Structure 1
Amino acid sequence: MNKLYLILLVAMISSNTLANDKALINKAKQDIKYQMKDPTSVLFRNVHVVTNSVGRKSVCGEVNAKNSYGGYVGFKDFYNTSIVTDSDDRKFFNLAGCSGKDVELTAREYNLVENICYLNLTFIKSIYIDGLDSDTAYSKLQVSSPTKEELISELSKFSQDESHVRSLKYAPQVYSDIYIGQCVRNNKNIK
């Protein structure tokens, strides 16, 4: 008798999960359709629900629809309610777990390194552009990692090349993009 109850319980939980997944899929499909020029032409394939390594569920798949000229544009990846159109979208598609666990974990590692590089750059900018001292610049970040010592070490490396300082002062946005790219490459074997 206990086995029968256990089987029924497992069946109920499974059907509840499937129902929740179907609801997520239907909601994502509706939201994607509303973004299209011709919602009646939308085609979906490979649509499924994934749970990534941090426990978040996402709807992943491919979508195709007609453009203003009436022709199909080709299948594009989507996750939840976003169609992948650029590298930022691809990053979030991968972080959602839509490309598989290995790609997601690599994306998480890359994202972590990129965030640390961004914090390094913010610290350096606070000192060279805003004129703050290192204590004030560090407290402005409101983080525990990287440590103040790690940031000062990065600042020391940065300060050794006067061309870096000049580039940051005269073209901060361009230099910022270059710095983040170089920092990520130097800190991880990510291409």
Structure 2
Amino acid sequence: MRLLCIVFYLFISVLPVQEPERVDSVFLSWNGVTLNSLRDICGKVNGVNNRSICENRISSLPGFWGIDGDSLNRSSVRWKFLKKIEMDSVFFNRNWTLIELMETGERVRLINYVVIYQKNSTTVLAYSYDHGDWSRINKKHVALKKSDFVPPRSGEFLATDSYPYDFVITNFTGYLVVESRYYLEHTVRRNSNIVKFVDGMN
């Protein structure tokens, strides 16, 4: 029996240990804040059909993003994105905004925009998720301020001239999540600054 215990101890001692990474805590905090924002806006939605859309998002997004409560999943599309931009090492020491766009259709297209605020300019990096990895697809300098990336948030679904996709806007200071705002499809006007920005980046 003692020999078995020694063998078991030696076995578990050689198992690879998952070392903590700086993006791990960002990932967990980001997920929690975003899901809380989604629940908050869904609490303001009226109408059976609209509430059904909310229920679908609340139940499906954790699986879609590969997140599960407070569990760390380094295979998640969100964790992979944080790791990718950390490796690019261009902004984690600054104030920055992340815009996550989910274009739905025959297949879901994920596009993320990293907005880096500098003293005299604003730089935007665009990333696309394809075949299990993120890659940078565009870089632009734009004449926009942080306030341009905060459209009004409402639980009211617009009948016309609305943006047809969900998106999330999250503000960061370095590795700290400041706030995250979830926007449901058809709740933001087409002529808003954020939509004009996204259309201009595509």
Taking structure 1 as the reference length, the TM-score comes to 0.28
Q: In proportion to residue count, which structure has more strand?
A: 2
Q: Which has the larger radius of gyration?
A: 1
Which structure has more relative contact order (CA 8 Å, sep 6+)? It is 2
